[in-house]
Structure 1
C-alpha cells in the first residue's frame, strides 16, 4: 500500500463557516487552523496547501474563559525606542475584534511561506453578516 500525496491540481477547496460566539477563542482557533491547513481531511499533505477557505462570523462576541478579557495582554512594537504598546483583550475587542481571532489562529499556523499562504484564506467578520453566501459555506460547530 502506497502513501497518498495530493497534487495541486487535485485539490477541491470548500468554504467553511465558524461562529466565534459558540466556543472559547483557543478551541475555536485550533479548529480554524486545522481547516486552513487541511488537517481535517484524509488527503492532508504536509507540503501542499490542501485546506479550505474559512469564514468566521461574530468576532465581536468572541468568548474568553476566566479573566482573560482584562488580564490578557497584546503587545505591538513599532521598531523604535519607546514604541512598545500594551493593550488588554477588552481594548483590542473595542478597536478591532477580528484581531482576537486572527492572532490566535496565526499562532497555531506554520510560520513559513506555506503557512502564510494558508493564513490568507481566513476571513474574519465582526457581525453575523458575511459576503460569502454565494459559496455556500458549510457550518462547523465547535464543542465547548
Structure 2
C-alpha cells in the first residue's frame, strides 16, 4: 500500500451557502474556516489548498453571546502617527456587517500566502441575496447552539 499524495490538478471545489441568522459569530467562523482550509475533505493535505467555496448570507443577523456586543471593539491602524482607529461591534454591524464575519474567519486561517488565498474563497453578503446561483451552492447547516446536556 502506498501513500496517496493529491495533486493540485485533482481538486474538485464545491460551493456551500450558509445562513448566519441567529448564529454565534465564533462558532460560525470556525466551521467556515475549516471548510475553506479543506479540513473536511478526506484528501486534506496541509501544504495544498484543498478547500471549498463558502457563501455566508444574512451577515447582519449574526450574534455574540453575553455582553460582547456592547464591549467588543475593532481596531485598525492607518500607518500614520496617532492613526489608531476604533469602531464598536454595534456600529460596524450597522455600517458593514460583512467585515465582521470576514475578520473572524481570516483570524482562524493560517497567516501565510496560502491562508490569504483560502480567504478569497469566502463571500459574505448582508442579506439573503447573492449572485452565485450559477455555481449551484449546496445548503450547509451549521449547528452553533451551545451544547446542553439533557
Supply the distance in 2 between the matched residues of 1:35 and 1:54 (Cα, whole angstroms). Answer: 8
Q: TM-score, normalised by structure 1?
A: 0.96
2:141 is paired with a residue of what secondary structure?
coil
| Count of matched residue positions in the alignment of Structure 1 and Structure 2 | 144
RMSD: 1.0
Instruction: Give per-residue Cα distances to partners, 1:20-79, cap 9 Å, x unaligned.
Output: 114201000001101101001101111111100110100011111111111011001101
2:4 is paired with a residue of what secondary structure?
coil
**Aligned residue number for residue 121 of structure 2:** 121
Ranges of 4+ aligned residues in structure 1 off by more than 6 Å = none
Supply the distance in 1 between the matched residues of 2:3 and 2:104 (Cα, whole angstroms). Answer: 32
1:102 is paired with a residue of what secondary structure?
helix
Q: TM-score, normalised by structure 2?
A: 0.92
**Aligned residue number for residue 67 of structure 1:** 67
Supply the distance in 1 between the matched residues of 2:95 and 2:6 (Cα, whole angstroms). Answer: 41
Supply the distance in 2 between the matched residues of 1:88 and 1:66 (Cα, whole angstroms). Answer: 15
Cα displacement (A) at 1:18 = 1.3
Cα displacement (A) at 1:3 = 3.2
